[in-house]
Homo-oligomer: A and B are copies of this chain.
Amino acid sequence: MTPSPGRKKRSTILDVATVAGISRGTVSRVLNGEPYVSDEARVAVNKAIKEVGYVPNMAARNLVRQRSQAVGLLIHEPHALFLEDPNIGSIMLGANTVLSQAGYQMVCLIIDSELDVNRIGQYLNGGSIDGAIVISAGENDPITELIEQLAMASAFVGLPPNHRPLPFVSIDNKKAAAEITARLKASGRTQIGMIASALGRAAGADRLAGFEDALGSSYRPELVAMVEHFSFDAGIAGMRELLERCPTIDAVFAASDAVAAGALSVLQRIGRRVPEDIAVVGFDDSVWAQRTNPPLSTVRQPASELGAQAAELVLAQLRGEEINRGGVYLETSIVWRDSA
């Protein structure tokens, strides 16, 4: 272990210029690949750069350029969800790929306390990032307000809270929920229930709305259990509640795969056969879906594409382009496995 000797002293453009025997201006031009530099100079500079181990100081560069060439990915999830939600990882990877290719550094900022909220406010406003991708902001999110006030380049994954008119990319949760519910109905089930989660967020509320829509007049409110999160544990609680309220229930639409997995575990424990006695479907087509027993029928959501498109949206704004009003909707599809 080192006795923490402090970082090595970094060399500056001036060092490079001195070694190369030319002016700082020319060094800078080489650095930025500008035209009007003699090959001779270019070669000398590159040599000198290697020699002194020069790396540009970002703070100085950002200061004068008034931009950072970085985009933040803000993650604002309740603890439990953050650990479970496989979509987040895919979204991150998708966004990173796009930003990376455009020469932007993606920096993920996680918001997990009041302290974080303030600090990140500074980070956004202080010029450390040029734009932001926001994942799952809750209602009345202060960060969302800030982003709107600053009119900074941004893109939400999922609908922005409080219907703020901000750029976003999302799936149509309502439509997708209606589709899979309809399929359940078409397969002959008659007592179809739902474990609805996170009703405080658009994704949660819309899935319930789609469920209602699809059922129409046969919708029975007592067959809906409302739970807090899109989590396994919530699935357990929701399934128990449903069974208690209606023991003869023969189908369940769980608001997410994790919820469905929780529900399955309850059914398994009490000996209900899936799908013979009761059908279960989920939402997300996450890694969970293929690993439950039986594997889940579910709605496939293009998670990494959501991240990628959100990144594109931010980049477009950074380029000063007009962007499509009303947000971007990506297609979902139904994946039918054995659980229904």
Which residues of B have CB within 8 Å of A187?
none
Query: Which residues of B have CB within 8 Å of A107?
Result: 107-109
Instruction: Pick the residue among B58, B293, B325 that contacts A122 (CB under 8 A).
Output: B58
Tell yes or no: A92 within 8 A of B by CB. yes
Say yes or no for A327: interface residue by CB 8 A criterion: yes
The smallest C-beta distance from A168 to any residue of chain B, in angstroms, reads 9
**Cβ of B151 and Cβ of A6 under 8 Å apart?**
yes
A178 an interface residue at 8 Å Cβ cutoff? no
Interface string of A75-111 (1 = CB under 8 A from B): 0000100111010011011001100110101111110
**Which of these, B63, B101, B125, contacts A10 with CB under 8 Å?**
B125
Chain B residues, CB < 8 A from A325: 1
- Per-residue CB contact flags for chain A residues 109-144 toward chain B (1 = under 8 Å, else 0) read 110110110011111011110000000000000000
Whether the pair A59, B62 counts as a contact (CB closer than 8 A) is: yes
Q: In the bound complex, what is the Cα–Cα distance between A68 and B63 (angstroms)? A: 13
Whether a CB of chain B sits under 8 angstroms from the CB of A215 is no
The oligomer's copy count stands at 2
Interface residues of A in 1-40 (CB under 8 A from B): 1-8, 10
Q: How far is A57 from B165 in the complex, measured between Cα atoms in Å?
A: 27
A337 vs B101: C-alpha distance in the bound complex, in angstroms? Answer: 46
Asked if B100 and A89 sit within 8 Å, CB to CB, the answer is: no
Residue of B at shortest CB range from A320? B4
Q: Is A287 an interface residue (CB 8 A)?
A: yes
Q: Is there a chain B Cβ closer than 8 Å to A166's Cβ?
A: yes
- Asked if A268 lies at the interface with its beta carbon under 8 angstroms from chain B, I say yes
Contact A127/B320 with A83-B287, A86-B83 known, Cβ cut-off 8 Å: no
Listed by A's residue number, 6 A-B pairs whose Cβ atoms lie within 8 Å are A8-B150, A10-B125, A57-B126, A57-B127, A58-B123, A83-B93
Given A4-B317, A59-B126, 17 more pairs with CB closer than 8 A: A1-B166, A1-B323, A4-B320, A4-B323, A7-B150, A7-B151, A8-B151, A10-B125, A57-B126, A58-B122, A58-B128, A59-B60, A59-B63, A83-B90, A100-B112, A100-B113, A100-B119
